[in-house]
Amino acid sequence: MTAPARAKTSSRLALAACAALAAAMTIACGADFYEIPIETPIQPKLDVTAFQRVFVAGFVSGGTEDVDANQETVRLLRSQLRTKSQLKVIDADILPLIDVAQEQAKPAGDDAGPSAQSPMPLPARIKDEKDLEQYERLFANTAYWKKIGEEFESPLIVTGTVLFTPHSRAGMVTREQEVIDAYGRHRVVPIRTYMERKGFILVPKFVFIDGRSGSQMYSERHREEILYNAAQNTPALSSYFELMDRIVPDFLSALSSQKIRGTRVLLK
Amino acid sequence: MKARLATLLIFVAASASPAWADARSDAKAQVDFGINVAQKGLWREAIYRWQKAIDIDPTYAAAFNDLAIGYEHEGQLQKARDMYEKALQLDPNNAQIKQNYELFKEINDRTSSGKDKQ
């Protein structure tokens, strides 16, 4: 064998050894990551162990007249609590909270003349968040809520405000469109178009009241919106439920422990 | 002669193991075992193994990532956050750790903040 031929053979051998080593290391190491499903337990935000019953009393609602947001919210929350919490749900008439708040806002006593200090009159029709804000003082009236609590054997009381308003927006949006290229192949390409869209905004605020004392324990506010193509005619009630679907898990997590499913990547 | 030398060099390079490599391989064994048992649903054992791995090698980002996932699964969210942050500190460009942390934060933020709590 000549010298160049021997050198070629030896370099081939070295390469083969390298390849074998790399292969052996790959086999030994295997995959470097593993996807694994996990369930994250989330503790309730509120300690409700002192309560056996819950009373979804009613909501001060406003916005569109196409949906009775007070009635629909009470019905939805009661049915969710029945199946997804340990608390017994009290089935009672929904409280007309707008009337209650307006009654409470009237000046007390007959001797209250024009000079007497009276709170600002509440708007009869709630159109926006500013109108709704003026009703907030109802939830701070501990005497009223304590009385309601006594009526229903000191439950946890759920109340608050719900604003469900129509909404529209026009502007450039990116959407996907299927096109056929010169070779007859179907392709999906993003295109920017001007679009008029309409939909709804849902802004509920949940207030949790201790029925034993009438005091507020906790409150949380949410805001969700949805927009459809203006040509699409989606009923207001469908939109309301679509938006509430996004909010209900958060509402339930205030009262009962939840498990949130997901996947994570374990690494070697 | 040259071929022998080349082969010898490869094996020397492959088998040469400084002290840190020993620690890493011990830690890696713990991590592998942890992954194995986590896949069988034995999360507490997995957490124990991953904790052991970071005790052996405190620079092992993957072990911190796995431990974070273990704590997340157990609902120990503050510990999970600390572990994810440590993992990212050690390996800031790791896309998988970043993705895990983003998903974790999404759950954590949804359930504990962003609302006007009283």
pLDDT band at B107 (very low <50, low <70, confident <90, very high): confident
The reply to whether residue B96 touches residue A260, judged by beta carbons under 8 angstroms, is: no
Long-range contacts at A92-97 (CB < 8 A, ≥ 24 apart): A92/A55, A92/A152, A94/A57, A94/A58, A94/A70, A95/A57, A95/A58, A95/A148, A95/A159, A96/A58, A97/A57, A97/A58, A97/A59, A97/A60, A97/A70, A97/A135, A97/A138, A97/A159
Identify the CA nearest to A81 among candidates A109, A53, A59. Answer: A53
pLDDT the model gives residue A25: 46
Is B16 in CB contact (< 8 Å) with chain A?
A: no
Looking at residue B118, its pLDDT comes to: 35
| pLDDT at B116 (0 to 100) | 38
Return the residue of A nearest to B29 by Cα.
A268
> A95 to chain B, minimum CA–CA distance in Å?
24
Mean pLDDT of A95-113: 77
Asked if the C-beta of B14 comes within 8 angstroms of chain A's C-beta atoms, the answer is: yes
Per-residue pLDDT tens over the stretch B9-59: 555 454 445 566 788 889 999 999 999 999 999 999 999 999 999 999 999
pLDDT at residue A80 tops 80: yes
Beta strands in A16-142 (DSSP E): 33-42, 53-63, 88-89
pLDDT at site B1? 53
pLDDT at position B12 is 47
**Residues ≥6 apart with Cβ < 8 Å to A107:** A116, A118
Question: What is the percentage of chain A residues whose pLDDT exceeds 70?
Answer: 84
Closest chain B residue to A19 measured between Cα atoms? Answer: B10
Of the listed ranges A115-119, A181-185, A216-220, B61-65, the least confidently predicted one is A115-119
Which among A17, A260, A267 is the nearest to B62, CB-wise? A267
To the nearest whole Å, the CA of B72 is away from the closest chain A CA by 6
The mean pLDDT value for A45-66 works out to 93
- Residue B83's pLDDT band (cuts 50, 70, 90): very high
User: Is B59 an 8 Å CB contact of chain A?
Assistant: no
> Among all residues of chain A, which has the CA nearest to that of B97?
A265
One-letter amino acid of A188: V
- Top residue of B24, B54, B73 to mutate, by most chain A CBs within 10 Å, is B73
Q: Which residue of B has its CA nearest to A24?
A: B14
Helix axes B43-56, B19-39, angle to 10 degrees: 170
On whether ipTM exceeds 0.90, the answer is no
| Mutation site, A206, A256, A259, A266, interface B, largest B CB count within 10 A | A266
In a mutational test of the A interface, the residue from B9, B24, B43, B72 whose CB has the highest number of chain A CBs within 10 Å is: B72
CB–CB of B115 and A10 under 8 A?
no
- Give the pLDDT of residue A141: 94
Q: How confident is the model at residue A118 (pLDDT cuts 50, 70, 90)?
A: low
Q: Which residues on A lie below 8 Å from B75 (Cβ)?
A: 40-43
Question: Does the pLDDT at position A99 exceed 70?
Answer: yes
Contact by Cβ (8 Å): A23, B16: no
